[in-house]
């Protein structure tokens, strides 16, 4: 069977091969081709079962038309949402997105970066696990387009999009304090060198200090990423024995572990144990109890990262227009942090009024 080429589509529609090429390369709008004409080209391409030759196109353009995305764990809803939005944006620009998880493993991430560059992806978006800047500085020197998200390495000349983790945590812990909780514990995943996690812990400590609450180091627990669920249960058992009356989970996975622990051990949230998480989740709105959360602007992070990298690829100047975006979080109070004492006081006042 003869392979369908661009000229076949052009002849069947009575248009030029150049016009067909522009439409199928997602350049129709840019070149003033009407939506109706673009739709006809796409329909005819599907009708004739046209299969684009991405290798030939890449050779012609000097690009692979592939972008790499490396995140710690694509199963985490925060990163899966980011990945989906980045995929949609880059796909519209004619790129294919390849996604890999580093599992918070430094060596695995380095291997992924090298595999991606060896496969000649045109650029990378990375939520890094690295503890130093060496690999990214080398990529920068090589003129390789890269954007960091979520985790910053404080590299001034590499683009970064993230949130103000310190302020987000500070506001969340302040809420717990305002609700009457005093023995507040922090659950954090490893590795501990990650700047976003360190900033969240800074916000936690700052809120306690500002409220005049002594920081009990025994209430701060780091849980290894590789054994997170089982180890979280052990740490939560110990924290409850020590008298912790609230948990600030530094990510949504640890919040889920806390909910599972509480249910398994018949611990009532928020009456016996308050809970707030950094990173929201759809299920936190509909479960019982609903879970208070620091919500990150996922769409803004993803859109800024994708568009920033695409700008670099369009300009073919990865060293230009370097920017650092630090976006604001939103604290969403729900049932899990409404202190029982406050509920009791409110009920008593209502009784007295009646």
DSSP string, 117-152: HHTT-SEEEE----SSSHHHHHHHHTT--EEEESS-
What percent of the chain has pLDDT above 70?
Answer: 90
Helical packing angle, 17-24 and 35-47, nearest 10°: 90
What does the pLDDT read at residue 349?
A: 41
Three-state SS letters, 265-325: CCCCCCCCCEEEEECCCHHHHCCCCCCEEEECCHHHHHHHHHHHHHHHHHHCCCCCCCCEE
Q: How confident is the model at residue 348 (pLDDT cuts 50, 70, 90)?
A: very low
Q: Place 221 in a pLDDT band, splitting at 50, 70 and 90.
A: very high
Contacts of 179 by beta carbon, 8 Å cutoff, 6+ apart? 270, 274, 337, 338, 339, 342
Coil vs helix vs strand at 158: coil
CATH architecture entry for 6-52: Orthogonal Bundle (1.10)
User: What confidence score (pLDDT) does residue 58 get?
Assistant: 53
Average pLDDT of the chain to the nearest whole number:
89
Of how many residues is the chain composed? 354
Kindly list the distances between the CA atom of residue 220 and the CA atoms of 199, 247, 271, in Å, as whole numbers in the listed order.
14, 10, 21
Per-residue pLDDT, 64: 83
Nearest by Cα to 280 from 297, 304, 302, 261: 297
Same fold, 6-52 and 63-163+298-327: no
186 phi, psi to nearest 5 deg: -115, 125
Task: Using a cut of 0.85, tell me whether the model's pTM lies above it.
Answer: no
pLDDT tens track for 167-209 = 999 999 999 999 999 999 999 998 888 999 999 999 999 999 9
pLDDT tens, residue by residue, 149-161: 999 888 888 999 9
Counting Cα atoms < 13 Å in the Cβ hemisphere of 95 gives 28
List the chain domain ranges.
6-52, 63-163+298-327, 165-291+334-348
In this predicted structure, the answer to whether residue 68 has a pLDDT above a threshold of 70 is yes
Cα gap 335→352, rounded to integer Å: 24
**How confident is the model at residue 314, as a pLDDT?**
86
pLDDT at 353 over 50: no
Q: Is the pLDDT of residue 227 over 60?
A: yes
According to the model, what pLDDT value does residue 346 have? Answer: 40
> What does the alpha-carbon distance between residue 288 and residue 338 come to, in Å, rounded to a whole number?
13
Instruction: Judge whether 277 and 291 are in contact, CB under 8 Å.
Output: yes
165-291+334-348 belongs to which CATH class?
Answer: alpha beta
Q: Determine whether domain 63-163+298-327 maps to CATH 3.65.10.10.
A: no
The string of pLDDT tens digits covering residues 100-136 is 999 999 999 999 999 998 888 999 999 999 988 999 9
Give me the sign of the Cα torsion angle 160, 161, 164, 166.
negative
Mean pLDDT, range 313-328, rounded to an integer? 78
Q: What is the pLDDT of residue 3?
A: 75
């Amino acid at each position: 069977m003869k392979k369908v080429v661009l000229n076949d589509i052009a002849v069947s529609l009575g248009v030029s091969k150049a016009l067909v090429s522009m439409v199928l390369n997602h350049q129709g709008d840019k070149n003033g081709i009407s939506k109706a004409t673009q739709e006809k080209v796409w329909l005819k391409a599907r009708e004739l079962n046209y299969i684009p030759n991405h290798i030939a196109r890449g050779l012609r353009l000097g690009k692979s038309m592939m972008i790499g995305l490396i995140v710690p764990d694509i199963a985490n809803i925060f990163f899966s949402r980011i990945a989906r939005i980045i995929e949609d944006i880059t796909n519209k620009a004619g790129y294919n997105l390849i996604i890999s998880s580093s599992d918070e493993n430094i060596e695995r991430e380095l291997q992924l970066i090298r595999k991606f560059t060896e496969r000649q992806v045109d650029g990378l978006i990375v939520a890094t696990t690295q503890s130093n800047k060496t690999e990214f500085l080398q990529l920068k020197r090589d003129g390789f387009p890269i954007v960091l998200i979520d985790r910053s390495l404080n590299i001034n000349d590499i683009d970064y999009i993230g949130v103000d983790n310190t302020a987000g945590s500070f506001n969340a812990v302040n809420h717990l304090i305002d609700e009457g909780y005093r023995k507040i514990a922090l659950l954090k995943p490893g590795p501990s060198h990650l700047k976003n996690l360190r900033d969240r812990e800074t916000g936690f400590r700052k809120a306690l200090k500002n409220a005049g609450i002594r920081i009990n180091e025994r209430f701060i627990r780091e849980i290894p990423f590789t054994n997170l669920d089982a180890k979280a249960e052990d740490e939560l058992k110990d924290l409850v024995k020590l008298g912790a009356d609230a948990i600030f989970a530094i990510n949504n996975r640890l919040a889920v572990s806390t909910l599972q622990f509480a249910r398994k051990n018949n611990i009532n949230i928020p009456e016996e144990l308050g809970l707030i998480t950094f990173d929201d989740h759809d299920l936190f709105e509909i479960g019982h109890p609903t879970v208070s959360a620091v919500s990150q602007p996922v769409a803004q992070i993803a859109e800024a990262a994708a568009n920033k990298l695409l700008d670099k690829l369009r300009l073919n100047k990865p060293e230009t227009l370097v920017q650092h975006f630090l976006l604001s979080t939103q604290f969403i109070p729900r049932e899990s942090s409404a202190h029982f004492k406050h509920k009791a006081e409110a009920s008593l006042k209502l009784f007295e009024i009646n």
